[in-house]
Amino acid sequence: MRRIGVIGNSVCSEEVIQIAEEVGREIARRKGVLVCGGLTGVMEAVARGAKAAGGLTVGIIPGNRASDANSYIDIPIVTGLGYARNVLVVQSSEVVIAIRGKYGTLSEIACALQFGIPVVGLQTWEVSPDIIQASNPAEAVIKAFDLLPH
């Protein structure tokens, strides 16, 4: 099973929700396991997309209760770690797709680059040439699978 991480905001526009859902669907179509933060916004939309295409979803949540996970998460990982759980979302992914996002997403992108985990960006922070930019969801997922370690 290949693990594709998706990161982004817990609050986002309808446009971003559409993008995240499409990313989730494409990951599931390619038999990837979705790894995300398990909450709302991008995390919920990408999980909903993955489930719509029959995928498997893992949500690494910051709080103490599995019920904090959105309803599209198959396997909640209950950390109780608060913000530090972001590091686990990144480290548990073989490649990361970043969708828009603010400082939390920037912190995760930097963390991935620090670990040498490839990052594909969709309308997100452009702070480094190491971020592989994509112009739409399908392209982002294709690039992510191409970047998977062998």
Q: Tell me which residue of 66, 13, 83, 68 sits closest to 41, measured CA to CA.
A: 13
Piece of the chain touching a copy of itself by CB under 8 A; list 18-26, 40-48, 120-128, 139-147: 120-128
Q: Looking at beta carbons only, is 133 or 139 nearer to a copy of itself?
A: 133
What is the DSSP code (8-state) at residue 123? S
* Alpha-carbon distances of 89 from 25, 34, 107, rounded to whole Å: 19, 10, 12
Piece of the chain touching a copy of itself by CB under 8 A; list 10-18, 44-52, 121-129, 134-142: 121-129
Q: Tell me which residue of 13, 7, 14, 1 sits closest to 38, measured CA to CA.
A: 7
Map residue 93 onto helix, strand or coil.
Answer: coil
Among 29, 30, 40, 87, binds a copy of itself (CB under 8 A): 87
- Per the rule left: phi > 0, alpha: psi between -120 and 50, beta: everything else, 38 is left
Q: Does 144 bind a copy of itself (CB under 8 A)?
A: no
Among 106, 132, 142, 147, binds a copy of itself (CB under 8 A): 106
Binding residues vs a copy of itself (CB under 8 A): 1, 3, 33, 58, 60, 64, 66, 74-84, 86-88, 91-92, 94, 102-104, 106-108, 110-111, 113-115, 125, 127-128
